[in-house]
Amino acid sequence: MNNKTTQYYVGNDFIDKRIDLFLKSKMNLNSRSYIKKLINLGCIFLNQKKLASASKKVKEGDIIIITEQLTQKNKIIPEKIDLDIVYEDNDLIVVNKPAGMVVHPGAGNKNGTLVNGLMFKFGNKLSNLGGSERPGIIHRLDKDTSGLIVIAKNNFSHNFLSEQFSKHTIIRKYLAFIWGVIRPLNGNISTLISRDKFNRQTMSVSSSKGKHAVTNYKTLKVFQNKDIPKISLIEFKLETGRTHQIRVHMKYKQTNIIGDKVYGKKRLKFKKINNILEKKIQELKGQMLHAGTLGFAHPKNNKIMKFIIEPPKKFKNLLNFLEKNSN
């Protein structure tokens, strides 16, 4: 594995300052999270001894050596995949991810991911803060969720954008079809979310442990007719970005996103349902959830950028059908 080694000498202008503050200044970082990660990985040495704490005070004459991994532990195979690139500059890329595509390689998904396509198009021109199998990746969308995702081309941008996710200043809005109606029609869901104790591959709302999760929602329209069960079109605005957050919160509200067979019922039974609608729902692969709006401050000029992308064809088809056939 190839590494990049950088050496810093502490002068008299940083005496008795924390080492993470010293390195933040020297490495031109916006936060100290990357430095903490390097410490945890054992990549920072102070006077030839592995650094254990970010709060360590430096003194004049100290020598700090940082070793950053440049190559990937598990080599990703670049693949020629058509990517819907909404925006690109020297610092970042905004991609419209289709439903059905996994964001990065993992167990059972080594090929056909967004990262495989990014590696083919951009090679090593992506940040490496995400680890060996996640070059450029700052956040994720579920496999069957379509919509906007931002990719970092360099470590400065990665760090800058990650900080916005941590501070919950990122603008993220989703559209979804759910069964029934949420009460109240507009509101806020605030809970703890943790791993489900019965199924470790899923998440659930917890009353005592987990990460704080906040989902704002607004009912845009409710569809219903004599042979169409109640279906709501909902706009979600996330304050946090927990794993499966919207899907878990819908289950908590005793409903689920149409097509979600993980957090909803695998087989739905209706006393009466339109045959065409039933067929459309049976043919769905994954949940009807679309990340349509993404906004953030640009790493270089701090200018707010906002992107909006229309839902995919299957989403529009269901919307058109409901508009024509319900009250």
Assign residue 103 a region: left if phi > 0, alpha if psi is -120 to 50, beta otherwise? Answer: alpha
pLDDT of residue 149: 98
Using alpha carbons, select from 129, 113, 207 the residue that is nearest to residue 165.
Answer: 129
Helix/strand/coil for 164: helix
pLDDT of residue 265: 77
Q: Is residue 313 within 8 Å of residue 284, measured between CB atoms? A: no
Q: Is residue 136 within 8 Å of residue 151, measured between CB atoms? A: yes
pLDDT of residue 172: 97
pLDDT of residue 35: 87
What is the spatial distance between Cα 119 and Cα 108, in angstroms, rounded to a whole number? 19
The secondary structure of residue 252, as a DSSP letter, is H
List active site positions: 142
pLDDT top residue among 260 and 107: 260
pLDDT top residue among 189 and 69: 189
CA dist 58 to 6, 26, 167, 213, 297, Å? 17, 14, 29, 38, 33
238 Cβ contact partners less than 8 Å away, ≥ 6 residues apart = 172, 173, 174, 214, 215, 216, 245, 246
What is the spatial distance between Cα 237 and Cα 240, in angstroms, rounded to a whole number? 9
Q: What is the pLDDT of residues 120-151, one digit of tens each?
A: 999 989 998 877 778 999 999 999 999 999 99
- Mean pLDDT of the region 189-210: 92
pTM of the shown model:
0.78
What confidence tier does 84 reach under pLDDT thresholds 50, 70, 90? Answer: very high
pLDDT of residue 30: 61
pLDDT, the chain, mean = 90
pLDDT of residue 37: 81
Tell me: pLDDT of 71 over 60: no
pLDDT of residue 275: 87
Tell me: pLDDT of 31 over 80: no
What confidence tier does 72 reach under pLDDT thresholds 50, 70, 90? Answer: very low
